[in-house]
Amino acid sequence: MKPITSRAGIALAAAAALTLSACGEAPDEENGDGENGEAAEDVDYTACLVSDEGGWDDQSFNQSAYEGLQDAIEDFGVDDQTAESQSEADYDTNVDAMVQQGCDVVFGVGFLLEESLNAAAGANPDTDFALIDEVFSEEHENAKPLVFNTAEAAYLGGYVAAAMTESGTVGTWGGIQIPSVTVFMDGFSDGVDRYNEDNDEDVELVGWDKDAQNGSFSGDFSDQTQGQQVTEQLLAQDADIIMPVAGNAGLGAGPAIESADAQMIWVDSDGYESTEYGDIILTSVLKQISQAVYDTIEEGVNEEFSNEPYVGDLENEGVGLAPFHDFEDDVPEEVVEAVEQITEEIIAGETVVESDNAPSEDDAEAGDEDEAEEDE
């Protein structure tokens, strides 16, 4: 495996670190060993994490959050508690259990935990809460949304998929039809369209219709058997590059894609590193959840926690495209150059990736505005 070239770095890999702030400036790259915050010193601080369904070994968003917690434990010496949700019925109980354990900050991983965390934040003003992948419906001084505009990075993934397909058809499917899932699918769709427009091609996308907001979903984030079945349906429609957006359920795509001699684009983490399917993973659409969790804990340790929302995007390297790894020699130079150019266009605002499912800082503050309107 060859390392990615530095020239293509900004387009094809997210940075190892990001600052968890509204402006999203990058911090120093070195973490740990006493060089960041109160690293290597035990502190009186407990960080707690509640998973979405799929568990800590989903090789996707839950696992990324868990890894961020482990890094913070190692560097800052914080205590920790975790609660692994098996279904939506566990959310309220698990969040309450973390509060009862005396946690200083409680993270909820995923859109579906918003209701539980929002209620807990209102009822427990002395505990901090951080919600990954969704904004709070109400504003609380002790509640911070950590969201990611993955449509921008998925746009690059869609462009690459369209450039690399041999069948002329690519596909995507999701776990549950919620904004943090469909934002990937929207960006992927637009990236395919961009490739077609730039190259006078007609690559087809199956599994998602952005205009109709309708497509293929497995129904949860844990059932790999169902994930395999949805993948097989897209393969039957001639898709030879498929992007599942389904956490642990997405792993079900692996066996089907291997059998079909097709390729996969992973999401959230670098699937080449985090899954056993590296040999079929063309690239991954990244969001730096682990760093966001780490930085939020660092804020708390240093008594600097705030409810200011964080929105990860290409500009602050909160999202990005992973290296091509084993496929590096297969991706034409003109495709690499096109991805670099498009990345620069998005960062400069020359190309705007539009999705009704994409988060923004305005969205993160919408709960407070809605509450104010009700008071009037």
The Cα 188–Cα 210 span in angstroms is 10
For residue 337, is pLDDT > 80? yes
Does 3.40.50.2300 match the CATH number of domain 150-288+316-348? yes
pLDDT-derived band of residue 58, with 50, 70 and 90 as boundaries? confident
**Whole-number average pLDDT of the chain:** 87
Looking at residue 53, its pLDDT comes to 83
Quick: pLDDT tens for 158-173: 999 999 999 999 999 9
pLDDT of residue 363: 54
Please tell us whether the domain made up of 27-148+289-312+361-369 is placed in CATH 3.90.1150.10.
no
Q: Supply φ then ψ for residue 310, to 5 degrees.
A: -110, 130
pLDDT level of residue 56 (50, 70, 90 thresholds): confident
Please give the average per-residue pLDDT across 304-308, as a whole number.
96
- Residue 89 pLDDT level (bands cut at 50, 70, 90): very high
Domain edges within the chain: 27-148+289-312+361-369, 150-288+316-348
pLDDT band with cut points at 50, 70 and 90 for residue 143:
very high
What percent of the chain is modeled with pLDDT above 90? 78
Q: What is the pLDDT of residues 236-261, one digit of tens each?
A: 999 999 999 999 999 999 999 999 99
- Cα gap 299→294, rounded to integer Å: 9
Does the pLDDT at position 42 exceed 80? no
Q: Is the pLDDT of residue 27 over 80?
A: no
Cα dihedral: 135, 116, 108, 51 (round 10): -140
In percent, the amount of the chain with pLDDT more than 70 equals 84
How many other C-beta atoms are found inside a 10 Å radius of the C-beta of residue 183? Answer: 25
pLDDT of the residue at 193 = 98
| pLDDT at position 7 | 32
* Residue 44 pLDDT: 95
Give the model confidence (pLDDT) of 94-128 as tens digits.
999 999 999 999 999 988 999 999 999 999 999 99
More confident: 246 or 8: 246
pLDDT mean over 17-32: 36
In this prediction, residue 2 carries a pLDDT of 30
Instruction: Please give the average per-residue pLDDT across 190-199, as a whole number.
Output: 98
pTM of the complete model beyond 0.85: no
Instruction: Identify the band that residue 60 occupies on the pLDDT scale cut at 50, 70 and 90.
Output: confident
What are the tokens at 105? 């900050």
Q: Do domains 27-148+289-312+361-369 and 150-288+316-348 have the same CATH topology?
A: yes
